[in-house]
Structure formats: C-alpha cells, structure tokens
Structure 1
Amino acid sequence: MNDHETGTNNEDIERLAAELHENVRALNHLTQGPPSLAGPAVAYSVLGSLAQTSFRLVQTVEQIDTFLTRELDAGRLGQDQGDDPARAVTTVHNALGQATEQAAELSDSFHRAASALAPVHGVDVGGEPSVELRDRANQSDREAAQVEPAEKDFPNSIGDVLPNSSATDPRPSETRSPPPQVPHPRRER
C-alpha cells in the first residue's frame, strides 16, 4: 500500500468516526421531538440498532488496540516527552479493555430492553388498536397462513413425539437452576 492509499484510508476512518458522532447527535435530536417517536415499534427498532452498534464497537476498539500493540512492538511509536511509549500504550490497552467490556454490556442491555419492548404496542386514545397494532396483527395473520401447511407434514403433536418432560427433570421449575449465561467475549493477550 502506498502513502496515497494509506492517507485515503486514514481519512475514511476519521470521516466515518466523525459521521458516527454526528448521526448519534441527529438521532438524539429526532427522538427528543417534536415529532419524536411514532410508536413502540420504532423504539424497538432503534434499540436493536443501538445493540448492533454497541456490539460492533467492540471490534473497532479491539482493532485499534491491536494496531497500537503492533506498532509498539515494531518500534514505530514514540512519545512526545521522549519517554518510552510502552507506558502510554499499556494505559491505552487497559482503558480499551474496559471499553470493550462496557460496549458488550451496553449491547446486552439494549438487547434486553428490545426484548422486553417486543410485545408492547400502541393504542389510539379511544382504546382502539393503533395502526401499528393492526399492521402487526395483519403480519401475524400472514405468518400464520404460511405455517398452517406445516401441520400436514407433522400430524403428531409435540407432546406425542417427545418424552414426558416430568421424567427428565422431576423437580418443580422454581427449584431448577437458571440456564447458564453466555460470558462476555474476552480479549486474549
């Protein structure tokens, strides 16, 4: 890669980071209103996008950390006061490690919020279902119509096919342990 290509790549990276900042600022302005959000489905969609963005920030942060480590190891970093840059890069490394954990937790929090919001719908002032709810119901009807033919392929109910669930774990559900939680991704060094 020549200097021109590197310069263009660096400009693109800086531009995208600045656009991310500006897009969040614009999102903040629009969600504040007026007119603000149109319904719970919009909030659900925004939360999903925020979860994805937070998750993807983990990769960006890890790539910056990898770059700095590679440049330090190759001897291509200096320090303005003439000190060894390893101390500063170590401080950056530790802060970025914390940022990756926080971004992963933020992504999980947005996912939990979106999941909790999924069954919520708007209603018109008179108690009538909103346009959003009617659209969601129509979508549900379309999905149900696509599932009905599957009944012909599976004439037995799931209870007939699977062994009795009480035989596999006789303890009441309140005494069973919750399923294990998936750990947050950890950076390896």
Structure 2
Amino acid sequence: MTNASQEPISPVRDDDSTMQLARDLHEGVRQLNHATSGPPDLTEVGTAYAVLSDPGVAAHGLGQTITQLNDFLVHEEEAGRLGHDLGEPVAPFVRKFGQALSLAGRYTGDLHGALSEAQRAINALHGVPVSAPERVIGSAAETAAEDFPLSINEVSVSLPPEDHPRPQAAPIDRRTRRKV
C-alpha cells in the first residue's frame, strides 16, 4: 500500500511544473498567514497545535529539496553544462551556492525541530468557556459602523436637495490635452 501524500502530485515532470510547485507553496504559506491571524479563522488551541505539524514536516522536506537542488547544480557543472554570463569560471559560484544551501538546510532542520517543540509545549492546553463573550474588535469598517450606523446611501437620501448643480470638469481637447 502506498501513501498517497508521498506520490507525485503530477506525472508531468518538467521545469514549468516544478516552478509551479514552488509558487503553490508560497501561495499556501500566504493563505496560512491570513488564516492564522486570529478570529474568525483561528479560534481553538487545537487548531494552533494541528497547524504546527504540516509546516514542520514541510520544513523538514525542504531539506531534501535543497539537497537535490545542490546535487543538480554540481552535476551540471561536472558535466560541463554550466556557463557564466561574463565568461568567469563557474566552480566558485557553484561552491558558494552549495554553501548557502547547506546553511539553508540546517535552518530547515532547526525550524522543524522548533515547531515540533512548540507543538509539544501546548500539547496539554485546551480552551475553556469564557463567562461573558469577549468583544472581538473587527475591521475598520465594522468599528466605523458602530459610531456611524447609517450607510452613505441612507445619509444621501436624507439630505435636502441641492439648490445648485454640481461643478463639472472643464472639457479637454484630446489633441492638445488642454482645457477648452
């Protein structure tokens, strides 16, 4: 039996689909950032606990991605398939690339470990009922609505009719772009 979550997402293996996977990861993180900003998307301690798991596993998995990217570039350099825009030797750049990725790989391991530790730290926590419902400050529009409960349409309908017409912008000659 195979684990469906470990199977390739798409049988197509080309550079475009690989770049799309990286973009999807970025978009997923962006959406997760919005979802974890607090109520109404995040209201339970159990959700915070569960959310820590997948990014930790993803960070751990990025270590493999990083290793594979380094292996690819080293292989391309060894095969003579890399060049430099200014004709310089590529080896120092590949070496620097590998050093930077090595550091990034250590950070992914550290991130995975830190997220796992955070998850263990809140393992025994749970939410408790609050005696009086807490007031959650909403958006600026919701806050303004409390201070000014009428909509713009309701206010404009209740205003007396204007005695004079509204000012009109002067016509502009399209050829010279000057007021006529």
Q: Same fold (TM over 0.5)?
A: yes
- Structure number with larger C-alpha Rg: 2
Aligned to 1:78: 83
Shift of 1:8: 5.3
> Which one-letter code corresponds to 1:111 in the other structure?
S
Percent identity reads 37
Q: Which aligned runs of 4 or more in structure 1 are off by greater than 3 angstroms?
A: none
- Name the residue aligned to 2:108: 103
How many residue pairs were aligned? 121
CA distance in 2, matches of 1:115, 1:16: 30
- Name the amino acid aligned to 2:116: H
Q: Aligned pair 1:52/2:57, yes or no?
A: yes
Aligned counterpart, 1:13: 18
AA in 2 matched with 1:38: T
**In the alignment, which residue of structure 1 is the partner of 2:42?**
37
Pick from 121, 124, 129 the counterpart of residue 119 of structure 1: 124
Shift of 1:30: 1.3
Please provide the CA RMSD for this pair: 1.6
- In the superposition, the TM-score normalised over structure 1's length comes to 0.61
Q: Deviations over 1:88-145 (max 9, x none)?
A: 1111000000000011000000000001111110011039xxxxxxxxxxxxxxxxxx
Number of the residue aligned with 2:174: none
Q: Are 1:88 and 2:93 counterparts?
A: yes
Residues 2-57 of structure 1: CA deviation (Å, up to 9, x unaligned): xxxxx951111100000100110011011114413121110011101111011000
2:163 matched residue in structure 1: none
Instruction: Find the aligned partners of 1:117 and 1:8 in 2 and give their Cα distance.
Output: 40
Gaps of 5+ in 1: 1-6, 128-189
After superposition, what is the alpha-carbon deviation per residue over 1:145-177, rounded to whole angstroms, capped at 9, x for unaligned? xxxxxxxxxxxxxxxxxxxxxxxxxxxxxxxxx
Distance 1:33 1:98 in 2: 33
Q: Give 3-state SS (helix, strand or coil) of 1:91's partner.
A: helix
CA distance in 2, matches of 1:119, 1:41: 10
CA–CA distance in 2 between the matches of 1:34 and 1:51? Answer: 23
Measure the CA separation in 1 of the matches of 2:39 and 2:48. Answer: 15
Q: Which has the higher helix share?
A: 1
- Which has the larger displacement, 105-114 or 28-37? 28-37
Matched with 1:61 is 66
